[in-house]
Amino acid sequence: MAKALQRDLCGYRVVRPVEQYIDATIVTNGISRAFSAGALCHPFKTMERISGVVVNVGKTNPLQTMVDMRKTRLQVQYMGKVRDVRYPHTSHWGRVFFISTPDGENCALVKNLATTALISTNILEPILPEFFPCGMEELVDDTSTSLDGKNKVFLNGDWVGVCEDSGDFVTRLRTLRRRKKLLQQMEIKRDEQLWEVRIYSDAGRILRPFLVVKNLNKIKASKGKKHTFQDLLGNGIIELIGAEEEEDCCTAWDVRHLFMEDNGKSAVKYTHCELDLSFLLGLSCGIIPFSNHDHGRRVLYQSQKHSQQVIGFSTTNPNHRVVTLSHQLCYPQRPLFCNMISDCLGQPGNPVSHNRVMSKPQYFNGQNAIVAFNVHLGYNQEDSIVMNRASVQRGMFKSEHIRSYKAEAENKFSSGKRRNPDDCINFGKI
């Protein structure tokens, strides 16, 4: 495109419309190639290749779909021993779950987000004018103005102003954020050593919610009422905290730690509190009952069974979906025991569970089978399985395997003629 346009400009020719220089198939072929190969390549520069831009989303069960949508992938070369990037980082605590990771070369390079972790989005609302009433001074092009004793204020890496008292400035900003007058996904970090206040409102940051200890008295006032997660954010009871801002917080493990005394001393003045320790796990491990009383290796095996191997009913309209390969369990059942994370996977309109949380039974897959380990009068059966014939005939473990095929029928004798829709077409074996 560039060469053709330069040829017409340098040769003093008539410049044609822009539509004649642009090849629309470049974008179409690039997207089609990315979906087929899973990598984004330059059409001419073969060395520029970005892998992992398109991955397959599992549709075996609804839980597998949610787990695949919450995976994080490090864009590094898998060839060779890459050690440093595989090690867990301290900033990943409560945001990235380390146990649920694949084996092989992708081990520790592909991780899952925690249950309550979320990714910030890019919001284009103007937030800079809200900083001036909180104590920020605007930068001016005046060399005579002294900046000694003042803290620098950065917004997404750009120096936007200064402030004298960084503690009061940060406190006012956090108060406005809890009152829903500022972005709830905004991250505020106070660095006393470098005399800086760093504020982030860009996309791509991993945030997680905390209970604000200062506003816990609001829970007693609203006890007995139904509140959504957005209501708790708007009332300042829950606050979204980033990795850098968490360094300035003093977080308690549980609500009971807020009132505990340490060796006769007064209770520690915490600023935030964890919602629940089970939220540190991922979705595939969070639905395992009593996972904190089991070995880590067993938790890993069971999480893979829940999200990868189990078959359920992923969609309610399988006959109207064109899917290459899918499995459907005819009679899925709910488990005998559900934990808190299972009840939190809900939506409005479903019946209320025992702990007043909206439940969603569509996320549960598999069947509850009664298994007996028998020796049959001393004769060892090794690995054989004896099943009840009546249960199998009633539909136990009955599933459907759906696969789509595509074929094109052409007639070489009448390829140039217009085909009559009433003509009979003989399809071959598919």
Inter-residue long-range contacts of 306-309, CB under 8 Å, 24+ positions, other chains counted: 306/63, 307/58, 307/61, 307/63, 307/64, 307/67, 307/100, 307/283, 308/58, 308/60, 308/64
Q: Please state, as a whole number, how many other Cβ atoms lie within 10 Å of the Cβ of residue 185.
A: 20
Contact 215, 178 (CB under 8 A): yes
**pLDDT higher than 90, residue 171:** yes
In a domain? residue 84: no
Confirm if 252 and 258 have CB atoms less than 8 A apart.
Answer: yes
**Distance (Å, rounded) from C-alpha 52 to C-alpha 109?**
12
Lowest mean pLDDT among 108-122, 268-282, 320-334, 392-406: 320-334
End residue of a domain, out of 255, 274, 293: 274
Mean per-residue pLDDT, 179-198? 91
Domain identity same for 173 and 282: no
Whether residue 392 sits in one domain with residue 286:
yes
Higher pLDDT, 143 or 202: 202
**Low-confidence winner among 161-170, 179-188, 284-293 (lowest mean pLDDT):** 284-293
* Domain match, 43 and 153 both: no
Residues 6+ away with beta carbon under 8 Å from 50: 39, 40, 41, 75
The structural domain count of the chain equals 3
- 282 plus 424 within the same structural domain: yes
Task: Using the predicted structure, report yes or no on whether residue 430 has a pLDDT greater than 50.
Answer: no
pLDDT in tens, 115-131: 999 999 987 788 899 99
Co-location of 133 and 270 in the same domain: yes
- Token pair of 418, please? 């217009």
Confidence of residue 381 (pLDDT cuts 50, 70, 90): low
**pLDDT tens figures, 32-53:** 777 777 777 766 565 566 666 7
CA distance 427 to 430: 8
The reply to whether 353 falls in a domain is yes
Same domain, 367 and 398: yes
Domain assignment present for 166: yes
Contact 131, 166 (CB under 8 A): no
3-state class (DSSP) for residue 18? helix
CA distance 193 to 247: 13
Closest-CA residue to 113 (of 99, 95, 101) = 95
Q: Which domain holds residue 245?
A: 128-274
Strand, coil or helix: 210 = strand
pTM: 0.77
What percentage of residues in the chain have a pLDDT greater than 70? 78
Q: Quick one: DSSP state of residue 9?
A: H
How is 34-97 classified by DSSP, letter by letter?
HHHHSEEE-SS-TT-EEESSS-----SSHHHHHHHHTEEE--S--SS---GGGS--GGGTTTEE
